[in-house]
Structure 1
Amino acid sequence: MPSSFSFPGDFRRLWIGQTISAFGDKVSRIALPTAALLGLGGTAWDVGLLAALRFLPFVLIGTLAGVWVDRLPLRETMIGADAGRLVAMGSIPVAYLLDVLTLAQLFVVAGVVGVLTVFFEIAVQSYLPVLAGPEGIVAGNERLQTSRAVAEVGGAGAAGGLMQILGTAPAILADALSFLASLLTLTLMRHREPPPARAGRPRSALREAREGLAVLLSDARLRNLMFASTTVNLGVATGNALVLVFAYGDGKLSPGAVGLAFAIGTVGLIFGAVSSGAIARRITLGRTLATSILLTGSGFLLLPIGGNEAALTTLIVSQFLIGFADSVFNIHVLSLVQRITPPELMGRVNGTALSVVFGTGTLGGLAAGFVGTVFGTLPGLVLSAGIICCGAVFVLVNPLRRIREGGRVALGSDAVPPCGEKG
């Protein structure tokens, strides 16, 4: 039965804009480092720095950005972020045509886009519940996740074609235009949110950030979700860093075979996105989260179990399982957080969550380097699988174990209301 959205036309506009933007983002993720390497004489260090500038802002400013998102109108915040990213990305093909493009400009653009993306991602996660409504949150996240998964495949092909036809730097114009498309869909929205209520004297950003963290820690559902997500993300980041080492080193696979395995993994992402709602309705949300965590851990565990001889087969199955489970887990965690978090605290909760996600990703990469060097690749994959599976503990205990639709949980004859509601 299809879910009804509170503002179906505006959600459709958001979905279209984010779908186009997801394709553009994939193009720039490939074209930007390619331009550094092939056009400007960059090194592996330069490429690594470009990647770090894309994610590091989430770790450094995610929580404080959430404070400002709670203070500002969400749609206007997203429009401002898109306008800034349009100008920043658009400056690269312009500089290329004027023959003044430098590595320094690429670094500045990557940093500016990274900071603005923090604000945009926190705002869009906070705005979705407004447009979708309580009954449409899961369906809305399913559609956005599906678009992003499809963009992982189609965007890579588009990037290759555009770079072949236009060149690497001009191809980045596609990402700039995708921000323009997103900006236009936002300006065409008819819904106008009321300005955030601000009572009394302005409070410090740090105090408001602490309030968001206090909500995460005081509500048992949000606290367990944060612990589960942190554990899973740490294990996944550790495992992902070792997968390529296993594929090329232990498995002796070719780049073409590895590319095929990862493409099939993207199919798993899509399949998980379109089926996540049906799965939760059939086996309950708590069991869905636990099952997706265990499937993710099993995906990494398959590689050392299969060994070197069956490396290609196990890598294909592994990537499909991980992609499928990742979609299901992320959609339901995000939807549940959006359902039970008070609207006035949504930015701070989302900002803190994103900081944790990217922070554990950084830590997982470092852990992989240590474990892979000291103990070897296969033991490292076993360890990462074990860490991931530990995350299931947090969703198999109350109150998440008995979670019901709408963010409520049954505890005997009582029910715990969504965070922010009075019992």
Structure 2
Amino acid sequence: MPKTTGWRSSLRRSLWAVADYRNLWLSQTTSLFGTGITLLALPLVALLALDATPFEIGLLWAVEYLPILLVGLPAGVWVERLPMRAVMITADLIRAVALLAVPVALATDVLSMPLLYVVTFVIGLGTLFYDVAQLSILPTLVAQDRLVDANGKLELSRSVSQIGSPAVGGLMVQLLTAPLAVLADAVTYLSSAYYVLRVRKPAPVDRPAERNSLREDIREGMRFVFGHPLMRPLLLCATLAELASAIILALQVVFATEELSLSPAVIGVALAVGNGGGVVGALVAEPLARRFGTGVTFMVSIVLFTAGSAVLPISTGPVTFASGMFVAYLGAFIFNVLQVSLCQAVTPPNLLGRMNSVFRFATWGVIPLGAAGGGLLVGVIGLPGVFWLAAGLNALSFLPPLFSTIPKLRDVVHHDSETSLTGTVVDERHAYPEEPVAGPR
């Protein structure tokens, strides 16, 4: 009897007992698995049905990030001005309709690369708005002291989907053909919209009596991020790390094939082992932050993904390659959980959308630059040299938080607390300087 009581008490304390959070988690999880399937299925549609060239396939990948560069900053303002659940549901429905166009176009013999580019662009646009809204609504669904745990569970879904969705996608393409695999992804977006619909608690939005212009709202969001004593180093750190990650992810298969002479099967196993580090990172982020403090754990996460990336260029076979990827993913996912939680904790509710859009604009905006730049540099410094460059960028990402108050943080607490970060006094008056601070252009 005492065991049952303890089990029930533990369940009540668990985030899984929070219905709104559970539905948000289910929404993101189904959406992530579907997206993983599409990342494999859409290029295969282009290759098998349209005989696309490697350049066209690369362009298909790049187009998905184009919405971030075009509307990444305004997206945060629009998300704040609209009901966030409605934004997420609309984004899911738009992505589902876009994907449904692929099998329909194939069946009616009108499928073309321009149509696939449009579909990919719409998916990227929907993903941008969904993610900004999802990150902004989360702090309204869980208690402040559960943010790290909540983000850890969401990142765990991301890591598991990175491992499982390519395998599921490959099996679906094999059994159903690529167009039907795309159709299955459309169903996952519909499922995601259903779960968002079941989130009952609306996100409170503090709308001013007089609405500012779009430009002024964007400027206010950038002033907050670039003027905040924690946001600024977090953004610089995350942007450098994302640039390095883009280089590695774009060239990891090429490196494993040309430098290590690994077979496709061995490469698949090595990358699966690497992604396993992300699973571990998402699981241990919250316990480590609670045990050693948020700041120390955050700094250690940077050391981990830097060390992992430094192992890659000296890899001699599948074991060292997989080990480097494992350590890099371990650090990256601990970093993601804590960085997102810190940003959510110190941001007022009426600025969450803009804060998240500024981070998305900067960090996702450098992905095409890293992927393309890394590819161009291979001919100049070679694959190992490019991987050393990525490791160097990761090492540089350690500096912005090092020279801030982040290493001293103990816990993540609410933005309007007397001391915004336990053990470290942060004067919120410095979060809004007199003049706007120059940001990414």
Which TM-score tier does this pair reach, normalised by the shorter chain? over 0.9
Distance in 1 separating the partners of 2:268 and 2:333? 20
Assess if the C-alpha contact under 8 Å between 2:62 and 2:368 holds in 1.
no
Assess if the C-alpha contact under 8 Å between 1:400 and 1:409 holds in 2.
no
Distance in 2 separating the partners of 1:420 and 1:66? 22
How do residues 125-274 of structure 1 correspond to structure 2 at under 5 angstroms? 125-194=135-204, 196-200=206-210, 202-274=211-283
The runs of 5 or more residues in structure 1 that have no matched partner are none
Distance in 1 separating the partners of 2:197 and 2:389? 48
Assess if the C-alpha contact under 8 Å between 2:296 and 2:409 holds in 1.
no
Structure 2 counterpart SS, 1:406: coil
Amino acid at match of 1:56: L
The runs of 5 or more residues in structure 2 that have no matched partner are 1-9, 414-419, 433-441
Structure 2 counterpart SS, 1:375: helix
Assess if the C-alpha contact under 8 Å between 1:5 and 1:131 holds in 2.
no
- Per-residue CA deviations over 1:88-147 (Å, capped at 9, x if unaligned) read 112222333334333332221111121121111100010111112312211111111111
Give the one of 79, 87, 103 matched to 2:97: 87
Q: Sort the Cα spacing of 1:23 and 1:366 in 2 relative to 1 into closer, same or farther, 3 A.
A: closer
How do residues 99-114 of structure 1 correspond to structure 2 at under 5 angstroms? 99-114=109-124
Q: Sort the Cα spacing of 1:419 and 1:167 in 2 relative to 1 into closer, same or farther, 3 A.
A: farther
RMSD of aligned residue pairs (Cα, Å): 2.3
Amino acid at match of 2:357: G
Distance in 2 separating the partners of 1:342 and 1:6? 26
How do residues 377-396 of structure 1 correspond to structure 2 at under 5 angstroms? 377-396=383-402
Distance in 2 separating the partners of 1:102 and 1:279? 50
Distance in 2 separating the partners of 1:418 and 1:269? 34
- Per-residue CA deviations over 1:365-403 (Å, capped at 9, x if unaligned) read 243234332222223222221221121122223311211
TM-score by length of 1: 0.92
Q: Sort the Cα spacing of 1:115 and 1:320 in 2 relative to 1 into closer, same or farther, 3 A.
A: same
Distance in 1 separating the partners of 2:344 and 2:17? 16
How do residues 22-37 of structure 1 correspond to structure 2 at under 5 angstroms? 22-37=32-47
Alignment partner, residue 296 of structure 2? 287
Of 44-53 and 120-129, deviating more is 44-53
Distance in 1 separating the partners of 2:285 and 2:204? 32
Q: Does 1:374 align with 2:384?
A: no
Assess if the C-alpha contact under 8 Å between 1:31 and 1:159 holds in 2.
yes
Shift of 1:420: 9.9
Structure 1 counterpart SS, 2:144: coil
- Per-residue CA deviations over 1:69-90 (Å, capped at 9, x if unaligned) read 1111111111111121121112
Distance in 2 separating the partners of 1:351 and 1:111? 18
Q: Sort the Cα spacing of 1:383 and 1:48 in 2 relative to 1 into closer, same or farther, 3 A.
A: closer
Assess if the C-alpha contact under 8 Å between 1:340 and 1:418 holds in 2.
no
Q: Sort the Cα spacing of 1:6 and 1:131 in 2 relative to 1 into closer, same or farther, 3 A.
A: farther
Q: Sort the Cα spacing of 1:210 and 1:421 in 2 relative to 1 into closer, same or farther, 3 A.
A: closer
Moved over 3 A (4+): 1-7, 97-100, 193-196, 239-245, 407-411, 417-422
Distance in 2 separating the partners of 1:102 and 1:242? 28
Same amino acid, percent of matched pairs: 34
Distance in 2 separating the partners of 1:196 and 1:81? 23
Aligned residue-pair number: 416
Give the one of 107, 112, 115 matched to 1:97: 107
Shift of 1:223: 0.7
Distance in 2 separating the partners of 1:158 and 1:246? 25
Q: Sort the Cα spacing of 1:146 and 1:4 in 2 relative to 1 into closer, same or farther, 3 A.
A: same
Of 188-197 and 79-88, deviating more is 188-197
Structure 1 counterpart SS, 2:203: coil
Q: Sort the Cα spacing of 1:369 and 1:404 in 2 relative to 1 into closer, same or farther, 3 A.
A: same
Distance in 2 separating the partners of 1:421 and 1:251? 49
Structure 2 counterpart SS, 1:376: helix
Structure 1 counterpart SS, 2:261: coil
Alignment partner, residue 44 of structure 1? 54
TM-score by length of 2: 0.88
Distance in 1 separating the partners of 2:431 and 2:337? 23
Q: Does 1:351 align with 2:357?
A: yes
Shift of 1:418: 6.7
Shift of 1:409: 3.6
Distance in 2 separating the partners of 1:164 and 1:119? 32
Shift of 1:32: 0.7
Q: Does 1:364 align with 2:373?
A: no
Amino acid at match of 1:341: T
Alignment partner, residue 435 of structure 2? none
Amino acid at match of 1:87: V
Structure 2 counterpart SS, 1:135: helix
Assess if the C-alpha contact under 8 Å between 1:402 and 1:409 holds in 2.
no
Shift of 1:359: 2.1
Structure 1 counterpart SS, 2:51: coil
